Structure formats: structure tokens, C-alpha cells
Structure 1
Amino acid sequence: MAKDGHLKDKVALVTGSTSGIGLGMARAMAGAGAHLVLNGFGDAVAIEKLRADLAAEFGVEVRYSAADMTREDEIAAMIGDVEKEFGAVDVLVNNAGVQHVAPIDEFPIDKWNLIIALNLSAAFHAIRLALPAMRRKGWGRIISTASAHALVASPFKVAYVAAKHGIAGVTKTVALETAEHGITVNAICPGYVWTPLVEKQIPATAVARGMTEEQVKKDVILAAQPTKEFVKVEEVAALALFLTTEAARSITGSLQSIDGGWTAA
């Protein structure tokens, strides 16, 4: 059951929430009493088990949408279904994303288009579609998972950096447009987060570079992160949850760094 009820009877839609950061955020919202709409790709049986387990653990309604976040029509259908059942999306978390690494002159056009569509345009569409119901209720929380790369750049990540800088601009713009409507709009900018996806990459990287796994962690992945420690999913989720509280009602248009000091330099 919920430990903290400040989101009781509200609905949180978290995109890209079948694993990793998105799942951590969804769990945090459910723990505060919110009904959930999960979204993301994965094995249908595993996703149904996840949905049922979350509903049982937290005592909330949990739905799943398989909407492809690169498709405007599917995003619209998902938002429409949520509003039909629950009345509004109260908390919108734009978390779906993908990455590809290559020099700009070798960057595949299809990867550019995919990353911009999923990491940036999907948030634009979800926000514009969810906002009218939030305005009618006079309350809403919009949180986008950006990245340290919304604030600084790294080589070979042109599409990702462009998309995350774009999320920063969307966040600030929509915050200004909604400032008098009881709606806050913020972005969270994590550094490298310890997720199953990152964990799986380490052994292969160690072999490829002739390094130990510990060296890969400290000297490759965490080279730009002064703490030399991964950010935990639970830490990102806790920050997202705080942004939904009454105590955070004056925080809007912000880019919240949680990056072990990466962007301090």
C-alpha cells in the first residue's frame, strides 16, 4: 500500500517505464498513491506481471499502453484513453528515450530521426495533448527526463545532445505558458545512472578495452562524474516524486541536475 498519499486519486503516466529509470519513477508515484499508466516495449507476459505486481504492491490501478512514442497518432490515442478512463493525466513523466553514438559525418540519418522523435518530439506531443485537461483541473505536474547532456555536450552524441538541449527549451517555454494554472514543468538531468542496461555493457567494454570492469566504471563511464559513483535509479525517482509535492509548487521551468558534480565544472 502507499506510504505517502499526496498523489492519492491522481494519475501518473510515465513513458518508457517498463524498466530502468522510468520504472523507478513509476514505483515512486505509486508509492505516493497515484494510479499508474505504464508505457514501453518488452515481453508482453513480463509486462503484464509487472503491471499486476505493482497494482498489488501499492493498491492502485495500473494500466499499460503499448503506444509507440515516435508516432503522434499513438501518443494521442494513449492520452485519450487515459482521459476517458481517469479524466486527466495529472502527472506526466516524459522518460522514453534511446541513444546512438557516432561522429556527425557518419551519423546514420535514421538514428538521428529516431532519437529526435523519441527523445524530443514525443515529449512535445504528450505535453500538448495532456495540458488542456490539466488546465481544466487547475493542477498538473510535467517532468521530463533530460540528462547532463541537456547542459553540456559530449562528442559523438549529436542527436542525443540536441534532443536533450531541446527538452530544456521545451521545459522552460511550457513552464512560462502554464505558470498561472497550477501546473509545474521541470526536467531532471541525471548523470550516468546504474541501470540494467549500463550493467550489461560493462563486461563487453572491459574485454574490448583490455581493462578490468572496475576500471571501465571509473575511468570510462564515470570519467566525467567527479564522485566516481553512479547515480541510483531510486535517487532520480525520489527527485521526480518531490517535484510532484506541494513543497515544490514554486519550482517550475527548472533543470534539476543529479549528476555527481558532472556539470559543476
Structure 2
Amino acid sequence: MEVPGLKGRVAVITAAGQNIGKAVALAFARAGAHIVITGGSDAAKIEAVAGEARSLGVEAIASVCDGTDEAAMNALIGRAVAELGRVDIAVSCVGIRPHQPIDEITLRDWQKVIDTNLGSAFILTQAVLPHMRRRKFGRLLYMAGTDALFPLANRAHVVAAKHGMHGLAKAVALECGPDGVTANSIAPGWLDTDRNAAWYPDLAETYEHVKATVPLRTLGTAEDVANACLYLASDMGKFVTGHLLHVNGGEFMV
């Protein structure tokens, strides 16, 4: 698929073994970008995604990497630069969404969500920024979610982290814009993807409600979100920065 400004670029995508991360990685590969992908523990999953990308004619590096491990992420980015020559795009897809009433969230629960969702985005940002700023080009994308604007019950820690991710995007956009780096957030709505049942009680009922009430009367797909990433990372989105792009079928209109 021809997308202006993406062929030959190098894109790093975290949590790329399934769902949104996988769709984003393969969308970039189809657009001719080389990919560097991570997963938290399942090496087979991310290697399968990398293999699919290679079949499309691009290079792919797959690595099991804990997004909260600063040393491991720095090492992976160093490997990407050594083997592929550069890092142009980084997409932070790491996220956990436990379902807990606020009075049941322990400090440890809170810290785990903040570290995993927001901390991993910060670590990825710090790892890639020097390479982007040196080349005067960079695209940073954060999977912030609708939680970045609209609170959800029993998700205080997730909501706080997602607000923080969009705040990080705006801060990077302001500070690094003079170096040719853009930073944006994406807020996916309800998608037809694999979900942790413990994080989404009454999921079937929720899906039916969404399909009956959102203006487009359907669930989205991971590919819908991937297309938004292509736009923001390509030349088509070169004048967009500090923005939160909703991909939600009209569920929220801002």
C-alpha cells in the first residue's frame, strides 16, 4: 500500500504480538517500512508477526522486551540503529486495564498500572528521541485510549495513566517540534479484538450496547487504528502534533 513518506522508514512498535500492536506493525510493513517489534513474553507470537512482515519484503526485528525495563529498551533501540541504520517512528501500545473499584486499588496496583502504561511510553520516548532529534525527523505515537479524556468507572489507575500519556505527547510535541519530531495520541473506541475477560465484565452486553448506540452502529477493528497511525506517521500527517485522534465510530465527539 502506497503511503507517502513511509517506505524505507524504521518503525518501532511495542506490544505487537496481537490486537492493535500487531495490526500497526503489519500496516507499516505493508507500507514499506522496516519494523522493530516487542512483546512482553510470547516470543512465538512476535516472531510470527515479524515473519509475516518479512514476507512483505521488509526487514523485521522481533524481541521479547519488558516495556518497563529501561536497559532492555535502550539495548533494543541500539540494536535497531545498528542493524537498520535509524529509528524514525515509535508507537507505544503497551497497556493493562484492570477493573477495580477505586477503594480496592492498592498502592502496588496503582504503581503497576502507571509503570506499565505510562512508564513504558516514557521509556520508549527517551530511548528513541536522541536518534530522531539527531536526524531532525521523528514520529511518536501513544495509544492513550478514550480514558485520556473520559473517565471510566473502576479504572482510576488506568484513566490517570492514559491522561498522562496524552500529556506526555503534548509535552514532547512542544519541546521536540523544533527538531522535526511530532508526537500524537490515539484513542481507540470499542474494537472487535481479543480481550482479557477479567478486565471487561459483561463484555458481550457491552458490545451489543455499543453496536446499538454508536452512530456507525458497529465495532471498530485493530486495522482502523492502524490506519490512523499510518496517517499520523506519514507525510500526510506531518503538520499534526500534540493531537489526540479518536477512532471510535462516533461514540465520543470532541
Equivalent residues in 2 for 1:46-195, closer than 5 Å: 46-56=45-55, 58-195=56-193
Partner Cα distance (1:170, 1:42) in 2: 26
Are residues 180 and 3 of structure 1, via their aligned partners in 2, closer, same or farther at CA, if it must alter by over 3 Å? same
Could you tell me the TM-score, scaled by structure 1's length? 0.87
Q: Could you tell me which residue of structure 2 aligns to residue 251 of structure 1?
A: 240
Cα deviations across residues 133-158 of structure 1 (Å, max 9, x unaligned)?
11111111111111111011011101
Equivalent pairs counted in the alignment come to 254
Equivalent residues in 2 for 1:11-50, closer than 5 Å: 11-50=10-49
Out of 200, 207, 213, the residue aligned to residue 217 of structure 1 is 207
Could you tell me the TM-score, scaled by structure 2's length? 0.91
Larger Rg: 1
Q: In structure 2, the residue corresponding to 1:174 is in which secondary structure?
A: helix
Gapped runs of 5+ residues in structure 1? 207-212
Partner Cα distance (2:139, 2:219) in 1: 27
Are residues 223 and 115 of structure 1, via their aligned partners in 2, closer, same or farther at CA, if it must alter by over 3 Å? farther
Q: Could you tell me which residue of structure 2 aligns to residue 239 of structure 1?
A: 228
Q: Could you tell me which residue of structure 2 aligns to residue 209 of structure 1?
A: none
| Identical-pair percentage | 34
1:10 counterpart letter in structure 2: R
Gapped runs of 5+ residues in structure 2? none
Deviation at 1:5, TM superposition (A): 6.4
Are residues 183 and 3 of structure 1, via their aligned partners in 2, closer, same or farther at CA, if it must alter by over 3 Å? same
Are residues 102 and 223 of structure 1, via their aligned partners in 2, closer, same or farther at CA, if it must alter by over 3 Å? farther
Q: In structure 2, the residue corresponding to 1:217 is in which secondary structure?
A: helix
Q: In structure 2, the residue corresponding to 1:243 is in which secondary structure?
A: helix
Q: Could you tell me which residue of structure 2 aligns to residue 264 of structure 1?
A: 253
Q: In structure 1, the residue corresponding to 2:179 is in which secondary structure?
A: coil
Cα deviations across residues 151-206 of structure 1 (Å, max 9, x unaligned)?
110111011100000011101111011112221110011111211227x7899847
Partner Cα distance (1:41, 1:73) in 2: 15
Are residues 46 and 154 of structure 1, via their aligned partners in 2, closer, same or farther at CA, if it must alter by over 3 Å? closer
Partner Cα distance (1:223, 1:94) in 2: 31
Deviation at 1:89, TM superposition (A): 1.5
1:86 counterpart letter in structure 2: L
